[in-house]
Every structure is written in C-alpha cells, then in structure tokens.
C-alpha cells in the first residue's frame, strides 16, 4: 500500500475515476485539484506524486512555470514523480520544462496495469542510505523560514511549517531526522511544542534544535537547559548554521 498524492489543475470526472481505481488497489490517495501550487510540503513526503496534466497545459505559461517549480521541489525532496498526459503535448512540455525527462511519463488513455507497475517500482526501491537527511523548520516568520530552507536544501531535504501547533500532526505522519524549532512563537512557543512532542508516543524521540533570536547568557542558559540537541542563533551565518547541523549529524552517525 502506497501513499499517493494525485494532482490536477481542476475537478475532473476522469481524475475522480482514477482516484477510485487507485483506492481499489489499496493505495492511500489524496487528491489535490487546485493546481500545482496547492501541493504542500507534507505532500512532497508521500511515496508518489501523480500528476494528471491537461491538454491545454503548454498554452498556459503560468501553469508551465508552476510545473517547473514543482519539478524543482520534487528534486529537493527526493520524491517519486509520475506524469499522465496526452502524447501530443509531451514534446511541447519537455521543451518548456526539460526536467520532465527525469521522471516517468505515461500516455493517455492510461493503462492501469502500467501505472500499477510504475507505482510498485517507485515504492519498492532499495533504500538509499546515502539519501539526504530530512529537516523540518518550524518558525512563525515565513521569510526567515524560507531563507533557512534555501540555505539547507542543496544538502538536506527540507520542509517548513509556520505554526507550532502543526508540528505534532506533521511529525505523527512524517519522519524527519532533525527539527529546527523556533523558541519564540505565538499561541504555542518552542518549549510548549517540545513538551507536546515528548508527550506523544509517536514523536517523543524526535531530535530538536531550537532556533533563537536572543543571545544573552540567561536566554541561552534557558534554551540549552531543555531536552534538545542544542540551539542555533538566528544571527548565525549560512556557513555557521550548515556547520552546526553537519557537526550534529556527524556525531550521531
């Protein structure tokens, strides 16, 4: 049984039928029918991202741009991507988005046996123990969170959240190697989120580093005294942050 995200650019009877067939094969299926930009960070951690492409896609520059961005995100997350589209649009899409050649393309009308085979191949690959480590960034400042994500994504598979209360739900369903958790957030701050994680049997052993914007001795003592792997100052440079994370993984190897 695989976790599949079925993505399309609008409601379609054909897509609903495909979703039904996949569920008959005992797959867990979530349908995203609001377009490529509606795919969330959590969705990229699924087993397979399945795109159902409309025939008019090459005529829509915005959708082509969004498809290119989705391919970049798939690469960042090491996600398996399968595209379903008409044979007549393949060359046009490939010309606009060269990354398409790196993924599986299935022509319409769709052969369900072929799709099942490709899904099975994607989910039964030998685990890659050299694959990127997975990091979750939790920070209520989306600008800072995106900056850190951009710094880390070439080395790690990175997801981001902007609300502390989303963290437990996310980590219940998705496994990561390290959480970078903002110490000061509204509604639920870092220590409160940490307590929630430790109280949940499914997340109690997750590894956490605090992100903190304060560097006075008293604040650092308070942060470092909690049950975490340490802390990162928000004033740290890109190099300093990458080195701290690399040192942590080297110690736990």
Question: Whole-model pTM?
Answer: 0.58
More confident residue, 89 or 125: 89
Query: What is the reported pLDDT for 175?
Result: 86
Query: What is the reported pLDDT for 49?
Result: 93
User: Considering the chain, what percentage of its residues have pLDDT values greater than 90?
Assistant: 49
How much is the mean pLDDT over the chain? Answer: 87
Q: Say yes or no to pLDDT of 218 above 60.
A: yes
Walk me through the domains of the chain, giving residue ranges and CATH numbers: 3-123 (3.40.50.2300), 134-252 (3.40.50.2300)
The per-residue b/e assignment along 64-82, b for 16 or more CB within 10 angstroms, e otherwise, is: bebbbebbebbebbebbbb
Query: What is the reported pLDDT for 217?
Result: 64
Distance CA 158, CA 252 (A): 19
Q: Helix, strand or coil for residue 155? A: coil
* Segment 126-160, tens digit of pLDDT: 445 446 789 999 999 999 999 999 999 888 999 99
Query: What is the reported pLDDT for 68?
Result: 93
User: In sequence order, which residues have a C-beta less than 8 Å from that of residue 127 and are 6 or more positions away?
Assistant: none
Query: What is the reported pLDDT for 83?
Result: 96
Q: Say yes or no to pLDDT of 71 above 80.
A: yes
List the one residue out of 183, 174, 190 whose CA is nearest residue 134: 174
């Amino acid at each position: 049984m695989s976790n599949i995200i079925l993505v399309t650019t609008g409601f379609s009877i054909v897509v609903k039928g495909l979703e039904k067939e996949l569920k008959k094969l005992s797959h867990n299926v979530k349908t995203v029918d609001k377009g490529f930009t509606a795919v969330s960070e959590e969705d990229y951690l699924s087993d397979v991202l399945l795109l159902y492409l409309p025939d008019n896609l090459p005529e829509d520059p915005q959708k082509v741009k969004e498809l290119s961005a989705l391919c970049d995100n798939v690469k960042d997350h090491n996600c398996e991507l399968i595209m379903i589209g008409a044979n007549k649009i393949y060359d046009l899409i490939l010309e606009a988005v060269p990354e398409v050649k790196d993924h599986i393309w299935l022509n319409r009308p769709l052969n369900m046996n072929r799709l099942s085979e490709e899904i099975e191949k994607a989910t039964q690959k030998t685990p890659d123990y050299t694959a990127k480590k997975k990091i979750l960034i939790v920070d209520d400042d989306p600008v800072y969170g995106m900056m850190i994500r951009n710094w880390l994504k070439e080395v790690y598979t990175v997801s981001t959240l902007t609300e502390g209360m989303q963290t437990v739900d996310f980590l219940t369903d998705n496994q990561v190697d390290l959480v970078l958790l903002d110490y000061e957030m509204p509604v639920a701050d870092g220590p409160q989120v940490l307590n929630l994680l430790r109280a949940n049997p499914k997340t109690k052993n997750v590894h956490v580093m605090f992100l903190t914007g304060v560097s006075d001795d008293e604040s650092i003592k308070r942060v470092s005294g909690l049950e975490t792997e340490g802390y990162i100052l928000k004033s740290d440079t890109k190099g300093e942050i990458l080195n701290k994370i690399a040192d942590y993984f080297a110690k736990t190897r």
